[in-house]
Amino acid sequence: MRSLDLARTLTLPPWVARLVGRLPMWPPSRLLALVLNQVVRPHLAEDVIPAIDGRTLRVEVYDAGLRLDVVWQQGAFRPAAAGQSCELVIRASAWDFGRLLLRREDPDTLFFARRLCIEGDTELGLHVKNTLDALPADAWLSPALPAPVRQWLARHLLNTP
């Protein structure tokens, strides 16, 4: 079975989205901003920084009921203010985001299969995609991340013990 076929069946149960969707979104947005600052910020190209300055990005994990809003301000990713409009929305299932993070699936493949949705500012979307594509695989192994997280990522991203 191809991975795209398998992934259609791998979504979280609907009750997860109903439960998580009721929770405040600021703490997960703060966590995303912290991770982006540790993993992505050191690898940002100089020409990307002015293009993302003050711009708000939403990551929606639809089957988990998560909407994570971050903005680049004053040289760092920060959680966006509640109710702030987003200029770019990237939406997929938890499974598909995991496959993207682990580089087991190509974003273009998911996009054309209509399993990764990107809405909003096209130029900003290209900057985000190109930045993530340019990250070295071991970027997710930042020493600032807890050791168990680094070990799990090392096993799954780099196939190392």
Average pLDDT of the residues in 62-76: 93
> How many Cα atoms within 13 Å fall on the side-chain side of residue 15?
0
Highest mean pLDDT: which range of 56-65, 91-100, 147-156: 56-65
Q: Strand pairing of 56-61 and 117-120? A: unpaired
**CA-based nearest residue to 123, from 60, 69, 22, 55:** 55
How many Å from the N-terminal Cα to the C-terminal Cα in the chain? 28
Q: What pLDDT score was predicted for residue 84?
A: 86
| Alpha-helix runs per DSSP H in the chain | 3-7, 14-20, 26-39, 48-52, 94-101, 107-112, 122-134, 147-157
Task: Kindly state the tokens that stand for 35.
Answer: 């991770």
| 16 vs 54, residue with greater confidence | 54
One-letter amino acid at 92 equals: A
Average pLDDT of the residues in 27-55: 90
Q: Which domains does the chain have, with CATH numbers?
A: 3-136 (3.30.1050.10)
Average pLDDT of the residues in 49-59: 94
DSSP element (H, E) containing 123: helix 122-134
